[in-house]
Structure 1
Amino acid sequence: MDEDAMFLRNCWYVAAWNYELIDGAMLSRRILGDKILFYRGESGKVVALDDRCCHRGAPLSMGRCEGDDVRCMYHGLLFAPSGKCIQIPGQDKIPPSLVVRSFPVHEKYGLIWVWTGDPAAADPDLIVDLPYMVEPQWKGIPAYLHYDANYLLIIDNLSDFAHLAFVHTNTLGGSEEYAFKTKPVAVERLEDGFRVERWNMNAPPPPYHRKVIPNKNDNVDRRNVGHMRIPGIFSLETTFAPAGSGAEKGNLEGARQYRNCQFMTPETERTTHFFHVYLNDFEDGDHNISRSLHDSLIEGFMEDKHIIEAQQKLLDADPEFELKAIGADAPLSHFRWTLDKMINAEQAAMAKAPSASGPAPAGPRKTGREAVL
Structure 2
Amino acid sequence: MFIRNTWYVAAWSHEVTDEALFSRTIIGTPVLLYRGSDGHVVALQDRCCHRGAPLSIGRREGDCVRCLYHGLKFDASGVCVEAPAQARIPPQAKVASYPVVERHRWIWIWMGDPALADPATIPDTHWVDDPAWRCLPGYIHYDVNYLLICDNLLDFSHLPFVHPGTLGGPESYASVQPKVERIEGGVRVTRWTMDIKAPPFAAAVKHWPGNVDRWNIYDFTIPGVLLMDSGMAPTGTGAREGARVDAAEFRSCQALTPETETSTHYFFAQPHNFAIDRPEVTRSVHDAIVEAFDEDRAIITAQQRNLSLDPDFKMMAFGIDSALSQFRWTVNQRLEAERAQQAEIKAAEPASGAAQ
Structure 1: distance between partners of 2:137 and 2:342:
36
Query: 2:351 maps to what in 1?
Result: none
Contact 1:43 1:68 in 2 (8 A): no
State the identity %.
Answer: 50
Query: 1:359 maps to what in 2?
Result: none
Matched, 1:183 2:177: yes
SS at match of 1:171: coil
Give 1:89 deviation, angstroms. Answer: 3.2
Contact 1:141 1:278 in 2 (8 A): yes
Which ranges of 4 or more aligned residues in structure 1 deviate by more than 6 Å? none
Query: 1:364 maps to what in 2?
Result: none
Give 1:97 deviation, angstroms. Answer: 1.9
Structure 2: distance between partners of 1:36 and 1:90:
28
1:231-261 deviations in Å (ceiling 9; x for gaps): 1001121121111111111111221200111
Structure 1: distance between partners of 2:145 and 2:319:
23
Task: Please list, as runs of the form range in 1=range in 2, the aligned pairs for 1:111-130 lying within 5 A after superposition.
Answer: 111-130=106-125
SS at match of 1:337: helix
Structure 2: distance between partners of 1:233 and 1:143:
14
Match of 2:262 among 259, 270, 279: 270
Structure 1: distance between partners of 2:193 and 2:141:
31
Match of 1:199 among 192, 202, 208: 192
Give 1:23 deviation, angstroms. Answer: 4.5
Give 1:216 deviation, angstroms. Answer: 5.1
What TM-score do you get using the length of structure 2 for normalisation? 0.94
Contact 1:204 1:217 in 2 (8 A): no
Query: 1:26 maps to what in 2?
Result: 21
Task: Please list, as runs of the form range in 1=range in 2, the aligned pairs for 1:143-182 lying within 5 A after superposition.
Answer: 143-180=138-175, 182=176
Structure 2: distance between partners of 1:212 and 1:218:
15
Query: 2:241 maps to what in 1?
Result: 249
Match of 1:327 among 302, 306, 319: 319
Structure 2: distance between partners of 1:192 and 1:59:
34
Match of 2:222 among 230, 246, 250: 230
The letter for the 1-side match of 2:308 is D
1:202-256 deviations in Å (ceiling 9; x for gaps): 211110001111x255321111102100110011211211111111111112212
1:72-99 deviations in Å (ceiling 9; x for gaps): 1223221111110112234332221211
Contact 1:45 1:68 in 2 (8 A): no
Query: 1:367 maps to what in 2?
Result: none
SS at match of 2:60: strand
Structure 1: distance between partners of 2:160 and 2:277:
32
Contact 2:18 2:34 in 1 (8 A): no
Give 1:325 deviation, angstroms. Answer: 0.5
The letter for the 1-side match of 2:200 is P
Query: 2:7 maps to what in 1?
Result: 12
Gaps of at least 5 residues in structure 1 are 1-5, 356-373
Matched, 1:43 2:38: yes
Contact 1:151 1:272 in 2 (8 A): yes
Match of 2:131 among 136, 150, 175: 136
Gaps of at least 5 residues in structure 2 are 348-356
Task: Please list, as runs of the form range in 1=range in 2, the aligned pairs for 1:210-359 lying within 5 A after superposition.
Answer: 210-213=203-206, 215=207, 218-354=210-346
Give 1:64 deviation, angstroms. Answer: 1.6
What TM-score do you get using the length of structure 1 for normalisation? 0.90
Query: 2:350 maps to what in 1?
Result: none
Query: 1:101 maps to what in 2?
Result: 96
Matched, 1:63 2:55: no
Query: 1:360 maps to what in 2?
Result: none
The letter for the 1-side match of 2:150 is I
